[in-house]
Structure 1
């Protein structure tokens, strides 16, 4: 049946990776031989070369150790070589890449896609993972800050989380090593040089010991600055002062030109960092795959087991739930959401002297309050500058004027930068479509935003002689720390875990960037994204480990979660746990806490509505770090469903000094009385005047996850068929495919429907027939609608062309 897009807003859509899938179920029906499992989207029908990650049944050195088994490098190498030899025999085109043995057991191999099924019956192969693409989790290119424009007022984020209080207490990260697994690091930057020794780390892109950023002019792609920005937030000590300014840094270049890379190098970087003795590692990178069992997440879990605090960004696909991506989905690693620091809200009214009213006018952003208020009560000439590109300002006189710019093509911050460079004292940016635009902190010039209709009216008003604009700017209110709209939300599919674990500042963060100019090495830029939030937590972990060198990774993670501060939106509403995690970190509170509650969050899993009362038992551990006996009490509440959810635990618990004690508790759920969905709650542990909150969650019947999260396909030139796959995490009662035009604005017709789909990847081949006829030449998109348990979601693929 035809469906209509009521509101097709880009940020609400799921981005499908440009890969196709091989479903193990179809092969399993053809043989009784036990098969390795394929985890992910892999095109096994193509003869083009591709890379996959092979996981061995033989356990890695770290995994074996933690399971009480004896594993040696020699034994593991022999097992790996045996599998590699069989791979080379069974696949004519294969070429072995990175090999792993310490925290992940396996290797990368390049081969033709249609040879991948040959791997599945090779003895010793446990699973095959796609070599998925990872990219930096930054939402725009930000803007450069000149050295002479540097101001301490830009550096609010480290003090906000209490870093300066930790410094005053004597903790600066000294003696703690932090690995930055990223695009490389400019270790020559004056603010970072102190943190590097002779050994800088490793470059997995070019395979050498020089993990420098991609410079300008690299023929393979754009220059990078991301890893240097991350490193500065962790440990800069110059004009910029990071969270842990005396920490030691190691750089691992796993993302190359343009800031992208793949699983092969990311896993290698994690393994190398652990072996090099890192105490903390930061991965401000990710993809859109909400699954806990990708190779990268497994590697991080074992890195944590080995005692390395792993910190990852949660992703920038918010504000919808279920948008967290790997490796933020890792069970053990600390996943970090992004917040915006407290800010002042100003209202804006504008007038051009015509009868036109511009009711949509709002402040988009500004660099200083003084510059914004300088517009108040003043009249300026405005000039239309198109998209706001540098070339759009050629032959335009905007000196001392306002630049009127339309949204599109370039980031908002870049438009404002270009306006400032041309001499404008302010900008008005109007939408190019219906709908709202985001607030963007840190704009280079004070910027007002308008709707499409108001912006077009203002531009057209020049023809009637209305080419000046007057401003009325007034203070509205103060807003506290809030979660950034772009920050990805949980929970995680399959494990049903709450993510992120914690939040930290990630909007308009000023830090170091390379200049690649020896005579001008002081580079700084303001960036935003969960990439910027994660290194605040990595730096905080370094401070915590310096203060508490005997703490394990669980204690570090729990200290940050237990002492985090709750966050509220601009209207004063408490954010859900899947939005903020345990809250915004506070470093000194984490260092000085006398109570640790592990784990820092709980998921009770899924309860079926079978008409029976279901009981689940779990526990957490309280560690009394003080020198006196403490008495703890407990209170558990759920935001909804309290009539059918009952939690039983101890009323009071006494824990002796410097001892830990397990707290058992049970949850009884009558799911028949509850609507399907998830039910968040909070365990409050109280001791005297101190209280600690532990986020918790449970699910009833089919969890409220997206019924489909990706759709990818390619036209097979030999057959003319469209070959692809869709990922349906929990299966589907009905999976319907329809054809739209390339802009998704017109329904073309019905392609095909399938029913009773199992969980995982659904492979298909479509012969381009539509409603009984042949699809006419043109450009189209396929849209898949997946339905299960009364809920329907859609995903769409790339444009394909029918000749």
Structure 2
């Protein structure tokens, strides 16, 4: 709702703001407001207060992995000595400082708790390379709540996703992940689950939340927060071996609990988990977690890059902030790790009609037997308020259809509550004029959506005694594998890399969960998100590693990308590179690949010239894994007028050798409009396509969002507030506007110029237009940022309170 409102409210403001930052900036505004004071920051840190905070300190001394990659000698004792020197100096000069965790394998440094205003003392140390914020990471699942399944409803055939990507065919050849260690860096794992206990040895991993060797999920009743089940679901997708079979059912699992109660954790624990997984000899690691920061050099992304160099195939979720571009978060923005987008398996899209309700449409649902059972059946309808659990109390829904109103809770939660009450279907109608645009996947019962007008008419008829209806359902379109709308997209800021790298099933994935019920502790549930897609790829990597034990992480990544299936949308159009990456993984094709092209995707970056031609070149390698000499033919394409691409058109590579090819792109500034353009390097051998390598370039200033988030929190003293906003590349102009609970413009909180990139903090006195105090109530704040001729705006997700 709010996104649409922003779209309609802003044009006049945006036009005036780009012309001036004075009184024209917004209705009824005054010249720049001096009460908005910018706090001095480094990254996501406000260094103007004495508030205790935790930071990640990176040293100039190279980590073991980085030194090894550079061919330089490095030892643990030398690293320890260098850390000790910096720690000793820091603890001597910084008041109330405390060292938490120390790193040496894939990251050189330590985490430290200290007053924020003491951080400049760290930055002045000549041995310190950088200081990172200790940001919060969350599980990358689409919703917090499972669709919990009874045991008799689960069968090995119920989960279609592993067979779909070819796991069953690999098992027939004996490739089940046996002998391969997979690290699950997550919320912990219920390793006693019958479907998982065979995958764990005596050593289970480590718990970085409670600092012990028992990395189980957060149980119910933990005073620190909600119970978890996410890591167990992820582990089951990778390697369950019981009622449910994961992608690599014979893989050995290691669990590292870095996300605690409620499924959240921090940078210092995530890096520690990555370090320990490398030290424990993991072959593959899965991180189904992330934050919203689109940055390739976030501390966790850097740690994953070096983990790859240490021989560990690192796989991470791409995020659930799609479908817009630039929504990939860290660590999905990693340069080297395999970032994974989420897909929906093929399904039939249904049309529905009942009564005189012309707006009726079917929500996302893929269990056709349930839809067929509802088709042409006269069914009783029961009104159930807004679909909260309490709305079903005392009502007989068994074998009936619930009618609920949109609002308060998610669509999927309404459906869950209806199913638990015994309903076989649900009708949900809008709470605002018009139809419901969303087509949410993962509903637990067949769901029909109505406009508010049709919904109100239906409820009136129910109250008048008309309680029955017949639903007529028919297949409107058969869809191939589709990208999930929620799946985050690239490019990555600064590197302009294509992300995700590949995609995999991530909607309605059935896997193992703990029930947190002592009487029946082990269960199964359906979840969705890129969290569910990533372990499909981690499991595939384990299967491939068994089949090709000498392959490096880079070779495994190339095989998965080169052989991925290109996906098309409902209209038959190929999805953009930044939606699907190289495509959806296919395990058997990856195993059988005897030619590997790297990198598996490439960005030529930005072309900024105003006149003439600008040329850039990239070298790709082709590795001939076969026992015979091969001749490769290459074709190059880009989708923009004025872009010329050329390169090596043929190369012959002897058996077991690697060759190089060059690809050159020339952009004519006069003929090409500003924008992002996609290309493909197609590699063929013997008439067969070996790989389609996605490529990308950006002409003129990229269209990344100039501001991506805003939050308003209480300040240090009563009646004051702190505004936090994230600017991906800084801003020449930044403004904060206040709206009331109805999203009517109230006034200007302040305007500021020349802001640095990253998180920025501002103190606000709660007044608008310079000196006008706001009456008590709920408000929204909008951040508007302009930089390099482009602008963006974002509204607070939730209202803040003025008391």
Cα separation, 2, equivalents of 1:49 and 1:717: 13
Cα separation, 2, equivalents of 1:553 and 1:793: 38
State the 1:114 CA deviation. 2.2
1:341 alignment counterpart: 345
1:227 alignment counterpart: 231
SS in structure 1 at match of 2:363: strand
Q: Is this contact kept in 2: 1:178–1:282, CA < 8 A?
A: yes
Cα RMSD over matched residues?
2.1
Counterpart check, 1:332 vs 2:327: no
SS in structure 1 at match of 2:71: coil
Counterpart check, 1:105 vs 2:108: yes
State the 1:663 CA deviation. 1.0
Cα separation, 1, equivalents of 2:5 and 2:411: 31
Aligned residues: 768
Q: Map 1:95-494 to 2 at 5 A.
A: 95-140=98-143, 141-351=145-355, 357-366=356-365, 368-433=367-432, 434=434, 436-494=436-494
Alignment CA distance shift 1:653-1:668 (3 Å) = same
1:21 alignment counterpart: none
Counterpart check, 1:526 vs 2:526: yes
Cα separation, 1, equivalents of 2:718 and 2:393: 50
Residues 374-394 of structure 1: CA distance to partner in whole angstroms, max 9, x if unpaired? 222232221111122332111
State the 1:645 CA deviation. 1.5
2:68 alignment counterpart: 65
Q: Is this contact kept in 1: 2:621–2:659, CA < 8 A?
A: yes
Residues 645-698 of structure 1: CA distance to partner in whole angstroms, max 9, x if unpaired? 122211211111111011122221123432222111111111122211000001
Q: Is this contact kept in 2: 1:172–1:244, CA < 8 A?
A: yes
SS in structure 2 at match of 1:682: strand
SS in structure 2 at match of 1:267: helix
Q: Is this contact kept in 2: 1:314–1:488, CA < 8 A?
A: yes
Q: Is this contact kept in 2: 1:143–1:417, CA < 8 A?
A: yes
1:34 alignment counterpart: none
Cα separation, 1, equivalents of 2:482 and 2:599: 25
Q: Map 1:609-688 to 2 at 5 A.
A: 609-641=609-641, 644-688=642-686
Cα separation, 2, equivalents of 1:784 and 1:517: 45
SS in structure 2 at match of 1:621: strand
Alignment CA distance shift 1:373-1:320 (3 Å) = same
1:698 alignment counterpart: 697
* Range 544-553 or range 440-449, more displaced: 440-449
Alignment CA distance shift 1:707-1:480 (3 Å) = same
Residues 385-434 of structure 1: CA distance to partner in whole angstroms, max 9, x if unpaired? 11223321112222332211122333433322322332323211223345
Cα separation, 2, equivalents of 1:131 and 1:660: 42
Q: Is this contact kept in 2: 1:777–1:801, CA < 8 A?
A: no
Residues 186-213 of structure 1: CA distance to partner in whole angstroms, max 9, x if unpaired? 1101111111100000000000000011
Cα separation, 2, equivalents of 1:444 and 1:735: 44
Q: Is this contact kept in 1: 2:39–2:762, CA < 8 A?
A: no
SS in structure 1 at match of 2:666: strand
1:12 alignment counterpart: none
Q: Is this contact kept in 1: 2:44–2:760, CA < 8 A?
A: no
Residues 210-258 of structure 1: CA distance to partner in whole angstroms, max 9, x if unpaired? 0011111111111111001000111111110110111100000000111
SS in structure 2 at match of 1:6: helix
Cα separation, 1, equivalents of 2:137 and 2:758: 21
Q: Is this contact kept in 2: 1:365–1:448, CA < 8 A?
A: no
SS in structure 2 at match of 1:751: strand
Cα separation, 2, equivalents of 1:723 and 1:538: 41
Q: Is this contact kept in 1: 2:46–2:761, CA < 8 A?
A: no
Q: Is this contact kept in 1: 2:44–2:758, CA < 8 A?
A: no
Cα separation, 2, equivalents of 1:638 and 1:470: 51
Cα separation, 2, equivalents of 1:282 and 1:256: 17
* Range 619-628 or range 82-91, more displaced: 82-91
Cα separation, 1, equivalents of 2:732 and 2:91: 41
Cα separation, 2, equivalents of 1:535 and 1:149: 23
Cα separation, 2, equivalents of 1:367 and 1:416: 14
* Range 733-742 or range 594-603, more displaced: 733-742
Alignment CA distance shift 1:595-1:799 (3 Å) = same
State the 1:763 CA deviation. 4.5
Residues 44-97 of structure 1: CA distance to partner in whole angstroms, max 9, x if unpaired? 223322111111111111111111211111111111111112221222111111
Cα separation, 2, equivalents of 1:704 and 1:710: 16
Residues 313-369 of structure 1: CA distance to partner in whole angstroms, max 9, x if unpaired? 000000000000000000000000000000011111111xxxxx3222112244632
State the 1:26 CA deviation. 8.6
SS in structure 2 at match of 1:635: strand
Cα separation, 2, equivalents of 1:453 and 1:124: 66
2:29 alignment counterpart: none
Q: Is this contact kept in 2: 1:83–1:123, CA < 8 A?
A: no
Q: Is this contact kept in 2: 1:39–1:127, CA < 8 A?
A: no
Alignment CA distance shift 1:568-1:82 (3 Å) = same
Alignment CA distance shift 1:26-1:388 (3 Å) = closer
Q: Is this contact kept in 1: 2:638–2:644, CA < 8 A?
A: no
State the 1:454 CA deviation. 1.9
Alignment CA distance shift 1:302-1:39 (3 Å) = farther
Cα separation, 1, equivalents of 2:801 and 2:516: 42
* Range 576-585 or range 632-641, more displaced: 632-641
Cα separation, 1, equivalents of 2:661 and 2:103: 38
Residues 261-301 of structure 1: CA distance to partner in whole angstroms, max 9, x if unpaired? 11010000000000000000000000100001111000000
* Range 263-272 or range 658-667, more displaced: 658-667
2:6 alignment counterpart: 5
Cα separation, 2, equivalents of 1:652 and 1:378: 63
SS in structure 2 at match of 1:104: coil
Residues 89-147 of structure 1: CA distance to partner in whole angstroms, max 9, x if unpaired? 22211111111111101111112222222321123111111111101011122301111
Q: Map 1:558-569 to 2 at 5 A.
A: 558-569=558-569
Q: Is this contact kept in 2: 1:96–1:110, CA < 8 A?
A: yes
Cα separation, 2, equivalents of 1:76 and 1:758: 33
State the 1:566 CA deviation. 0.4
Alignment CA distance shift 1:427-1:723 (3 Å) = closer
Q: Is this contact kept in 2: 1:398–1:424, CA < 8 A?
A: yes
Q: Is this contact kept in 1: 2:640–2:672, CA < 8 A?
A: no
2:34 alignment counterpart: none
Cα separation, 2, equivalents of 1:400 and 1:735: 56
Cα separation, 1, equivalents of 2:670 and 2:764: 41
Task: Pick the aligned partner of 1:53 from 50, 56, 76.
Answer: 56
Cα separation, 2, equivalents of 1:288 and 1:442: 23
Q: Map 1:526-565 to 2 at 5 A.
A: 526-565=526-565
State the 1:517 CA deviation. 5.1
Q: Is this contact kept in 2: 1:504–1:534, CA < 8 A?
A: yes
Q: Map 1:8-87 to 2 at 5 A.
A: 40-87=43-90
SS in structure 1 at match of 2:374: coil
Q: Is this contact kept in 2: 1:715–1:800, CA < 8 A?
A: no
Query: TM-score scaled to structure 2, two decimals?
Result: 0.92
Alignment CA distance shift 1:88-1:543 (3 Å) = same
Cα separation, 1, equivalents of 2:717 and 2:372: 64
